Structure 1
Amino acid sequence: MQKGYIIYANGMLFGPFPYNGEAQKIGPFPNSPSGYIEFLAVDVTNPTCFAAAKAEAPKCVDPNPCKISNLAIRGLGCNPDGSRRLYINFKYENVLNRLFDVLVDGKIIGTFPLIRLPLEANFKLAQDKDVFKISVCINDSKGCCETQEVKLPCERPCPDLIVDVKQKPCNAGGAFSADLIFKNPTPGPLRIAINGKILDTLEAGKNIFAINGLLGDGVTFFKVELLNLRDTSCKRTVTFGPVKCRNMRITDVWPGDVNLDNTANHFDLLHIGQAFGSKGIARFQPNSWDWKPTPALDWPEIFFDAINYKHADVNGDGEINRLDIEALSFNFGLSHGPFTRPKSLPATDLDPKILVEMPAKGELADSTRFEIPIILGANNQVIKDIYGVAFSVKFDPKLIDPKALTIEVPTSWMGQPQVNLESIFKVYPNEGRIDIAITRTDQNEVSGYGVVAKMKGIIIDLVGRAETKLKTDDAILNRLDGEILPLNTEETAFNIVDAPRAVRPEDLLSGVTVYPNPTNSQLNIASVAGSVTDVKVMALDGKTVVKTFRNSNQLNIDDLRPGMYFLRIQIGQQVFFERVVKQ
């Protein structure tokens, strides 16, 4: 046998090489997990003659590294044996192994082929906690991992609470219904929720519960949670979906008739607010907001009432935003059939109201400009979790000039205009009615009460005294998911009296000036209407009086906390509202 030696390096064999005193070039080597390369040189004729060495391996950058992205992990409920069922999916690039490991808190709990993605499987996890750090790693590929912290509550199943889901056919709007079928009569009143929203309570002994208006978009999973109200440790979770109801359809859109009541009006703003910021398929037609039927492809989303989002894209540019409100204003009042008024709920004395608040004396002077707050709710009837409101105010056009009538929506507890709040209104002079809608646009509900708008106008010049009324009517209060809440309306009577002196409406166009604003302490009030008789500093709710001044046009608010306030300024028989900021 020829004399020489061989070399083992990190398990790779090189050689044989002759003993000629020359250095040998070996390799290439893959990246070493340990950071070192171990060498063993062995004589080919005498294996007991060897030498060993170790060298630090250079760190080479892989030009095409293994990568995991878009990791999605969801709990699909718990099994009677205490195991949890998980949904796992992710994208991968440049893998050298067709297997992946699932690790929980650093320990491998399963290995699966990549072809099983998306994976649904049962896993035995610790029973004493709900939050787990779950990782997926490409098998035998160090560092090719992605990790998420996932909350996986495992509720105690009720042995007699066995339920199946029976899906019903899709409707024309792309929505479907499903029945919960209980194998045994329900053990107690069950609170039923889907995707976090409580639907209803099912009486004990029932065997079926219907869920309507589910979105068949082919993407949404539906998680139904059942809770026995007599034994709150008895819970069960059922997951189904996603369900794909249909392909996209082409149907006509009447630009502005968002809620399909045959008319473009203030009620349509409520749907626009719910979908605000959504994007979809543009109509790609010139002047696509013209009042005519315009063919449009369905968008993937639908409203709570199964109306497709495409109807809220009034101007047809593929995005729901302020431009659609402008297009709605352009078509406001137009119709293409009999008007179908949106449904409202009957209200009781316990429900909140929307009203026009008149001055304390219940009087306004003729030939003068007025500002009257519109109040939603009260300190003993706080509005809970609302998103929008639509209503009308009826007035006598013989006493209040329709041409001068306008609505201002200030910053209030409902939100900030053009930031997270939008509004629309239209005056109908012949009917003596003004239609108004206010909605949030950020998909966040709010709670509170107080001023939501100000009604501004001019009392027509009269001879003598007259009595008139302002009446809120046709009011709808809604939540983000479209749920309608009961809301009372109210009729407010007041007297129109002779102005104490000759004051022309054009003299009052500037109204009242408050300066400086913002201020640290001193406020000055200037008005061509006369001397200030009473000033009330009010909180943003428009109801709580913080401070009162009489017969003075100079106010010192040095003792107030920094923030925003309303001033209720009375000048003779006239009342003005101004907003001030205390720095």
Structure 2
Amino acid sequence: GAFYTAGSRIELPLVLGSLQMPVSSFHGIAFSATYDAALIQDAYFEITAPWLGPQGVFHFQSQEQAGSGALDVAITHYGGAPGSSGFGVIGKLNFIVEDVLVDLLEGYDSIDINLSLDGVMMVDSNFNLAPVVMDSITVRIYNPDQTVSILPAPEREELVVFPNPSTGQVWVRSAEPIQRVRLYNILGQPLGQWQDLGLDLWPLPVYELGISTGAYILEVETSGRLWKEKLIFNHCKR
């Protein structure tokens, strides 16, 4: 997993919809990303949503509430533009860890920080509210004085399974096209296999499989190598 310490950038993809539950006639979304302002010195959102259509058909606005631990984001289609349908990444949330952690982490090796989405509102082209599942993730920030001698050199993340732990939809993102995915329970019993995918971003069909709370093993094969990831579901929403 990734190591975060003083000055690190935490990057979290934001995903709308899934293969099983795509977004229909998307018109706009607004939300607040909340965090601990004592540990995060800056937060910003980068929009990357080609499946929503060209950027000329929608308006994007992002504003950090100074010192409040909240980043407000809004994406809206212009009046005459038709709504978009589909699923995928709409952008990346970026959080910059404070440069100086001495006082905050005095006597501790690390501290956990919760990053969450609050007040999410999404509307379709008829301005009807659409259901959205809010999510959160806990990230561990390490004391640089305690870890500088043992942290490995940063590597390019070639495979990311997110969110993990999860309460619902899970995505697999790979630097190389995904060839095959297998899912096993903790006893090694196969639960599902998908092949010839050829995608670099793929949604695990959590709801079709009837996944319940617990631990699982996800095996992902690309043209370059075979990956195994432990996947945790907490209070899984069906």
TM over 0.5: yes
- Code of the residue aligned with 2:131 in structure 1: it is P
Paired position in structure 2 for 1:269: none
TM-score calculated relative to the size of structure 1: 0.25
8 Å CA contact 1:537, 1:548 repeated in 2: no
After superposition, the Cα gap between the structure-2 partners of 1:548 and 1:412, relative to the gap in structure 1 and judged at 3 Å, is same
The aligned residue for residue 445 of structure 1 is 83
Asked if 1:364 corresponds to 2:4, the answer is: yes
Q: Which residue of 2 aligns with 1:425?
A: 62
Partner SS, residue 413 of structure 1: helix
**Structure-1 residue corresponding to 2:128:** 483
Query: Could you tell me which residue of structure 1 aligns to residue 15 of structure 2?
Result: 375
Whether 1:535 and 2:158 are equivalent positions in the alignment is yes
2:97 equivalent among 455, 459, 473:
459
Specify whether residues 467 and 383 from structure 1 end up closer, same or farther in structure 2 by C-alpha distance, changes over 3 A only. Answer: same
- TM-aligned CA deviation for residue 534 of structure 1: 3.5
Q: Matched residues in 2 for 1:367 and 1:547: separation?
A: 25
**Inter-CA distance 480–490: structure 2 relative to 1 (3 Å threshold):** same
Q: C-alpha separation between the residues in 1 aligned to 2:62 and 2:138?
A: 23
What's the C-alpha RMSD, in Å, of the aligned pairs? Answer: 3.3
Identity across matched positions, percent: 20
Q: 2:132 corresponds to which letter in structure 1?
A: L
> 1:435 corresponds to which letter in structure 2?
D
User: Do the aligned partners of 1:373 and 1:454 also contact (CA within 8 Å) in 2?
Assistant: yes
Deviations 1:542-579 (A, max 9, x none): 93445559xxxxxxxxxx98xx968xxxxxxxxxxxxx
Q: CA deviation at 1:372?
A: 1.8
Q: Is the 8 A contact 2:27 2:125 kept in 1?
A: yes
State the match for 2:141 in structure 1: 496
- Could you say if the C-alpha distance between residues 565 and 440 of structure 1 is closer, same or farther in structure 2, counting changes exceeding 3 Å? farther
The amino acid across from 2:130 in the alignment is L
Partner of 1:38: none
Letter in 2 for 1:458: I
Residue 473 (structure 1) aligned with residue 115 (structure 2): no
Q: TM-score, normalised by structure 2?
A: 0.57
| Superimposed CA distance per residue, residues 497-521 of structure 1 (whole angstroms, 9 cap, x where no aligned partner) | 235539xxxxxxxxxxxxxxxxxxx
What per-residue deviation string (whole Å, max 9, x for no partner) do you get for residues 350-391 of structure 1? Answer: xxxxxxxxxxx4753332123221222233332222111111
| Residues 410 and 416, structure 1, Cα contact 8 Å, conserved in 2 | no
Runs of at least 5 residues in structure 2 that lack an aligned partner in the other structure = 162-169, 178-196, 202-238
Kept in 1: contact 2:35–2:70 (CA 8 A): yes
CA–CA separation in structure 2 for the residues paired with 1:423 and 1:456: 16
2:35 is matched with: 395
The alignment of Structure 1 onto Structure 2 pairs a total of residues equal to 162
Q: d(CA) in 1 for partners of 2:160 and 2:94?
A: 20
Q: Distance in 2 between matches of 1:397 and 1:537?
A: 26
Q: Is 2:158–2:174's contact at 8 Å kept on the other side of the alignment? A: no
- 1:385 paired to 2:25: yes
1:83-482 mapped onto 2 (5 Å cutoff): 361=1, 364-401=4-41, 404-417=42-55, 419-441=56-78, 442-460=80-98, 461-462=100-101, 463=105, 464-482=109-127
